[in-house]
Chain A
Amino acid sequence: MRKIVFITLLAITALGLKNANAQTGINNNSDWKVPVPSVNTTAPFIRVIVPPTPTMPPMPGVPAVSPIPTLPTGGLMPGVPGSPSIPPGPGANTASNQNGNQGSNAGSTAGSGQQPAAPSFKDTPILPPVPPITPLPELRFPTS
């Protein structure tokens, strides 16, 4: 059947060749009144469609990951607050002043005796205050 169709079309084409000429020689643009001389070679292929990877649906309870980096600039760790200044230790002037002021402070310190000088820990490192940990709401247990 296919061969018959093909041979028939070929025969019609061949028979039409003799009179297939619309040229009149008067520049009537008949050369443009014919089909575009091109053939479809777009897709004589086997095509494998690879679908794009679907985006993962958001899971309940898990915050969505932002494409914008949320880490602080300058490092992964948050900035450590500056250490508080070390209070001055009890020097000689301070001790004499304390002795001089004992009389005036006697009323207020009556019964308590002389207060010992505050110990000085110059070599002890002073840790910064620990920032409070923000409680995660999803980790809260229901209060009974």
Chain B
Amino acid sequence: MTISANRLFKIGFIFALTAILFHPKQALSQNNFEKVLSKKMDSLISEKGHVIISQTMLPNNSVSSIMTPSGWGSYGTYVFGVVGGVYPTAYTNKPDLISAFGLTFGNPSKWVNVSASVNITRVSELKNLSANLVVSRAIFESSSISVGGLQLFANADVSDAPEGTYYIAFSHAVQSVESKRPGFAALGYTIGFGTGRFLRKSPYDVAAGKGKYGTGFFGSISYEVFKQVNINAEWTGLNLGFSTGFRPIKNSNLTIGLGVTNLLTNYSGDRVGVIGTLGLPISLDKKQFYR
């Protein structure tokens, strides 16, 4: 029995075609999808910091206000330190500093976030201590609210403003304006009401006939002009200010804020002051996924 070369070629071609069609590695195309997915998840896990899985964008991580608080809390547990100052202070030619260190913890999406810190308002003498306590909670979509007290329990023998400040603030991250850093909003704003530093004018203002009280209402709007660099406008309840904020070191949470305040000297104060902050939060959490 002889088989022609043509017939042998056809049989070989059919076997080869069958083997190609049913080859397992090529047939299971789902494997490629799973590999890509696995790589994506591995890359997320290998990133530094926490991962938030969300359907909305939070504000970016640069400074959005200096003289007014925000409605946003933090996701996770941090110790933080901050030094802020103004030069010159109203009705003096001196600078004035404040420093604070504290702890913040809690997930504001599920429960609340609590921030507790201690101020040293006379930095040069390491005295004039006071306390800050702020509770924040994420509400609605891409919004947050905070209620707190600033510079509480100050010693009346040392502090020139011992009564403390209580406030409530609402912040929102505009979802239609995306940051240059994926997953964040470039535009955000805060509105709120407070007593103390947001309401009471200086006795010098009263003496100058500028009234005893400010608006009590404060607010700020922040927009990211460059990656992680914001420009901010804020109404402190007593005056108007502009500021900018940025993070100078990549992969570091060190934040710097610079600006000017007391621009409307007819309303309060007697001169424009330069303001600045230097803050560093340090995470105490292991890597976590927040929802």
Stretch at the interface among B2-10, B31-39, B68-76: B68-76
Q: Least Cβ distance of B76 to chain A in Å?
A: 8
Q: Least Cβ distance of B4 to chain A in Å?
A: 53
Residue in B closest to A5 when the chains form the complex, CB atoms: B248
- B51, B67, B159, B269: the one contacting A31 at CB < 8 Å is B159
Contacts of B91 in A (CB 8 A): 28
Interface residues, chain B, with chain A CB atoms under 8 Å away: 44, 47-70, 72-76, 78, 80-92, 94-100, 104, 115, 117, 119, 121-125, 128, 130, 132, 134, 150-151, 154, 159-161, 165, 182-184, 196-197, 200-204, 245, 248-249, 253-257, 269, 273, 275-281, 283, 290
Chain A binding surface SS class = loop
- B95, B254, B276: the one contacting A19 at CB < 8 Å is B95
Contact A50 B96 (CB under 8 A): no
- A19, A22, A32: the one contacting B196 at CB < 8 Å is A32
Separation of A44 and B63 alpha carbons in the complex (Å): 12
Chain A interface bracket (under 10, 10 to 19, 20 to 34, 35 or more)? 35 or more
Q: Least Cβ distance of B220 to chain A in Å?
A: 11
Interface residues, chain A, with chain B CB atoms under 8 Å away: 2, 5-6, 9, 13, 16-52
Q: Least Cβ distance of B202 to chain A in Å?
A: 5
Contact B69 A36 (CB under 8 A): yes
Contact A48 B51 (CB under 8 A): yes
Contact A36 B183 (CB under 8 A): no
Most central of B124, B196, B203 by chain A CB within 10 Å: B124
Contact B92 A22 (CB under 8 A): yes
